[in-house]
Amino acid sequence: MTESIVVVGAALLDEGRLLAARRSAPADLAGRWELPGGKVEPGEAPEAALVRELREELGVEAEPLERVPGQWPLRSPYVLRVWLTRLLPGSPVPEPLEDHDELRWLTHADLWDVDWLPQDVPAVRAVEEHLRAPMK
């Protein structure tokens, strides 16, 4: 049995909004929306991978706060794990630097107005309640 490789996703929350990123590559994912993040490198802690990926993909400094319960299968052998995350004070405004061509802050009211990647939908549902309640 192959061991799963963890892909970390950031439920990046700010003032009751969730950051969604639109994929620009690869072609089969382009134009669909996801939670930003990426693969955990061998020997890297998932939280450290999340910080690194957000720096590389969005140019921001962020802090993982707590892991969202559950994990969601991607294409084998990958699984998605998501952390509630916040921007650190003084961090620049997120920009789509790598693998994305657009970012959008979504409120609870417009959370489903974007075409989420199917594998991100259960993770977004798990995060949805946090858009209604203030973050700790």
* 7-38 pLDDT, tens digit each: 999 999 998 899 999 999 888 889 999 999 99
Contacts of 47 (CB under 8 A, 6+ apart): 8, 64, 83
Return the pLDDT at 105.
Answer: 96
Considering the entire predicted model, what is its pTM? Answer: 0.91
Question: What is the per-residue pLDDT for 133?
Answer: 61
Nearest to 109 by CA among 86, 136, 132: 132
Residue 1 in this model has a pLDDT that exceeds 60: no
